[in-house]
Structure 1
């Protein structure tokens, strides 16, 4: 599979997988508190491509990203209930949770049933 490099808009941070995205989130969080830092964290939280998540094979990195987006630094985490529907992190968190479930299922060598194939396809 081809891996692409992605950049957080407005910053000089580049990443090509979920682990590198997490490292960039930590670098942004370590910056001195300012309006630009907060804006960069918000932008970084919503710019993880779903195609990158679909090919990720590192379960630890996926779990770290889920933690960052749900319990991590302010301005990176998703908003409170009632404001999540249109927030850019919502589809990212859903995709990360789905990919984690797929990787855990493969690690457990569980057989695929008809429902699994209907929802996730033959792969």
Structure 2
């Protein structure tokens, strides 16, 4: 995994806070569509979005797209999704449950991504 990305969005929420999950996904996709390299870091409850199908049903309504569409488009358009390993384990998940397009990262990787980014969004 490259140590840096132009834009890093850190998401701490999943189905428990659909507004924040949707906003983070929307901004990550917007940054990617502007041509930036983008890494979406999933932490805390947000790691659940690394499990295929978890974003299904998260839809806060217009003008926002459903979370599953945002995540699918983000990945298809070259966005990177990184899953915090400690948060994943804490939430009772393991790497075999994650979408194979995700990257499992550790705390030092998070620091490298944030310190190397030109911009970031922390959705806590």
What TM-score does the superposition give when structure 2 sets the normalisation length?
0.33
Q: Which has the higher strand share?
A: 2
What TM-score does the superposition give when structure 1 sets the normalisation length?
0.34
- Highest RCO, 1 vs 2 (Cα 8 Å, sep ≥ 6): 2
Q: Which has the larger radius of gyration?
A: 1
